[in-house]
Structure 1
Amino acid sequence: MKTLEFFAKQQTTTITAPYTDPGTTFQIYISDASPNIQNAFVEVSGVSSAGAGIEAKVNSAASMTANLSANNVTAFNLMYNIPNPNTTLLVASENNPSPTNTLYMNLTGTSNISLLSAKVVVTYYYSP
Structure 2
Amino acid sequence: MKISIGNDHAGPDYKKAIVQFLEEKGYTILNHGTDTFDSVDYPDFGHEVAYDVQMKKADFGIVICGSGNGIAMTANKHQDVRAALCWTKEIAELARQHNDANVISIPARFTSIPQAVAMVDTFLTTAFEGGRHANRVNKIACK
- TM-score (normalised: structure 2): 0.27
Q: Which has the higher strand share?
A: 1
Q: Which has the higher helix share?
A: 2
- TM-score (normalised: structure 1): 0.29
